[in-house]
Structures are given as C-alpha cells and as structure tokens.
Copies of this chain bind each other. A is one copy, B any other.
C-alpha cells in the first residue's frame, strides 16, 4: 500500500488535512457530498501551498494528487490513513464509520478530527473498534503541528503507533493523551477561556478587540514558546515551582473566574460578539485575515526555528528528514527553496541581505557535501566567509521557488572559492550571482588553518571536476 490518505469530510479542517498530506507527498482521496467542497478545499489548498513550504529550508516532497471521489468506498481504496472530519453529530459519525469499515483496509488508521466526542463513543458498536482513534488537529491544520492522539479503551497499540508515525511524517506533533476526557486537553483550555471571554464581553468589561489585545500583547507570546507550567517555573525564579504555587495557591479560592456559570447563548449575545468582531476587522475579508494569520504564524515559527525552540524545533527536526544529500551534477544544485514571507523588505521584494543568506546556505550545503558538516564544526573546524561579491540581477518575491547552482572555482589548502548562481525555478531566469571566498578556520583559535585531510581531498576533487567541466562546456 502506497502513501494514500482518505479525507472524509472537507471544510476548513478536512481541507487542512488534505493540503498537509498532499504537500508532504501523499496521494489524497476526498469524499464530501457537499457540492461546494471542491471549491472550498481548493481555497484552503491555495493558502497551504503558499505557507507550509515556507516553514522549511529543504524542499518538500513532490506534491501528491488530490482526487475527489463520489463514494466513501472509492475514497478509502488503497488508503493506509483515513481522517474523518464530518460534522459533530454522533449519529452521523457512527453511520460514516460503519460505511468506512465496510470498505477500508483492516490495517488502515481510522482517525477522527472530533473535539466533542471521546474515542470510546466512536468505537461503541463499530465493526472493528481497535482501528479507531481520535487525531484532533488545530486550525490551520497545514501549519500548526499539534494533533491530540487519543486512543479509546479498544484502540490497538499498532494503530496508535502507526498513526503517530504517519502524523510525524507529515510534520505534526502527535500528543498521545493518556486517558479519554471530554474535549481532550487543549479544547478544555479553549472552552474555559471562551466562557470567560463571553462573560467579559456580555458584562461590558472588555470588547472582543480588547480581549484579543490582552492575549496577544501578553501571555499569548509566553504560551507560544513555553506553554503554561514552564512559564510559571521561570516566574517562580530561584525558589522554583513550589514557590510559585504557594504564591498563587490562595487565588484558587478567589472569585477570579465565573466559568461554570455559563452565559445564556442567545441572539443578543451573538449579535454583541459578532458586532464587535465586525468593527474590529470587518474591513478585511476572511481571505485577507487568513493570509495575515498564516504569514504571522510562518514568521513566528521560523523565528522559533532559528532558536531551535518549541514549534521551531519540531520543524527543524522534520526539515532534517526532508533533506537529500547533494547530487553529483555540475554545477551542484546546493539550494532548492521557496522565499518565505520574512525575507521581504520595504520595496516588497527579497531583501539584499537574504540573497547573502541564501548563498551562505548554499556554501553550508557544499560544506556538508565535502564532509565539513555539523559534527565537523562541533569538533572545532569550519569555513568562514572572508569576502562576497553579489550581483542583483532580478527581483525575487515571497513564495517564489528558487534554486542555487554552485561551482567550486578554487579549493586549495585553506582557501575555498565558490561561484553561485541563483535562479527562478519556474523559468530558470538568473536572479543573482555570488562570488564567495571562504577560509578554513580553527574554531578554537578563530584563525585560518588547513582543513582535515578528508575534507581537503573532497574540496580538491570538486575543484578539479568543476574546472574540467567548465573547459568542456
């Protein structure tokens, strides 16, 4: 069985799953009776196609096809992973599971996006309950890594393991939830905050925008990178977590939330919230807001990637699994990537500094290729750039695919000279050139010195190969 995923139920969540699987190289088969499903999913796909590859420095696998099927039977044919995201009605879900299990492979993962139901509720009465698990994602599914993986009492360990492996493969973080509970983990927090927020708006304490500000200018930033307990551990200072808890323990008894006293859900409340939300950002379309959200998420996740922290660490690790060793072609293709949103400047195009970075990345790839990789660096040697000459020939914009071709023009002793050409993938148009001169250094003395023998040999061999080829051209 190849990499085929069945997506049952389109919409924002199903569409996000489909986009993530397809962009990670899976063939995707969709079933959704809604005649609008294909249009809606193509919009999610357009967002995902722009944003997800920006998280990575390595190129993603070749994109898988997305095929719309008219029956559940066709959708699950050959699928090793099936994700159900139909509306949150237990009777509907049970009908869908019966149909799915009539046709799907017995060893396929059957995962539900449900936030409302426990896996044992979905398993109850099913033909093969062991196949069913909850994999609860977060919108936008194509960017946020979290998937709560919740087994029911009857879910088989093989299914959990397989689901976990596949979710990691498509860049997600399967959080194995130890026990079933209503709303799993994250949605319990979301629900608590939502209830509290409704009260604050209803009671006139704050508007929707003020609440958003209270979150995004304060604890939202803390949580995005450390979560809750780690943040408080730090807040406790040298005295630690116990001190923190002692300090805030008494507040547990104070009237700081009024959560189980639920505001009545009526038209007045809906109108109040919807009206405030409208004045907050009614001047922007949902597409524009999605674009803003995705660009912000990409930029923040890339920032965390630079720190090798939180969601950024996940992406960095995943990036490493996507990286292929360089080929043997001349010139070497050292970089294939998409220009991310955080690389553009006031002129609306890729900043000249990022050209420098892409050529720096190209030389790092070449270094790995000749054996001067992270281990080599960790052992105390590296190449430092001494001089670059960059010619900017064409503008480059966010979301454009580019690649870099590199030749070793000189590789003698401690000297390494590289000639890079950056081209647009679409039409192979030349965008910029870089003549880069590097010196091999000892990281201990920070002074130049010859490379270790194997690296030197590899560099010399490339210099000869690239020189011969140039004469032959």
Contact = CB atoms under 8 A, between A and B. Distances in A.
B220 A200 contact: no
Nearest to A367: B346
A253 B179 CA distance: 22
B191 A178 contact: no
A451 to B, nearest CB: 15
Interface stretch (A180-188, A401-409, A411-419, A465-473): A180-188
B217 A175 contact: yes
A214 to B, nearest CB: 5
Given A197-B228, A220-B227, A225-B296, A387 B386 contact: no
B175 A214 contact: yes
A388 B352 CA distance: 9
B274 A195 contact: no
Given A12-B237, A189-B196, A197-B189, A224 B229 contact: no
Given A253-B262, A265-B252, A206 B185 contact: yes
Taking each of A246, A292, A356, which has the highest tally of chain B beta carbons within 10 Å of its own beta carbon? A356
Given A173-B217, A273-B245, A346-B377, A196 B206 contact: no
Contacts of A388: 352, 388-390, 392
A310 B108 CA distance: 42
Given A148-B214, A210-B175, A235-B139, A187 B256 contact: yes
A277 interface: yes
B347 A353 contact: no
A107 interface: no
Given A213-B175, A296-B304, A299-B307, A389 B392 contact: no
Nearest to A382: B347
A241 B293 CA distance: 16
A357 B195 CA distance: 46
Contact of A195 (B257, B310, B359): B257
Contact of A205 (B177, B250, B262, B351): B177
Contact of A224 (B196, B221, B252, B269): B221
Nearest to A215: B227
Given A220-B225, A246-B270, A347-B443, A342 B259 contact: no
Interface of A: 12, 116, 138-139, 144-146, 148, 173, 175, 177-179, 181-183, 185-198, 200, 203-206, 208-231, 233-238, 240-242, 245-246, 248-263, 265, 269-270, 273-274, 276-278, 280-281, 286, 289-290, 292-293, 295-297, 299-304, 306-307, 309-311, 314, 341-342, 345-347, 351-360, 364, 374, 377, 382, 384-392, 395, 443, 446
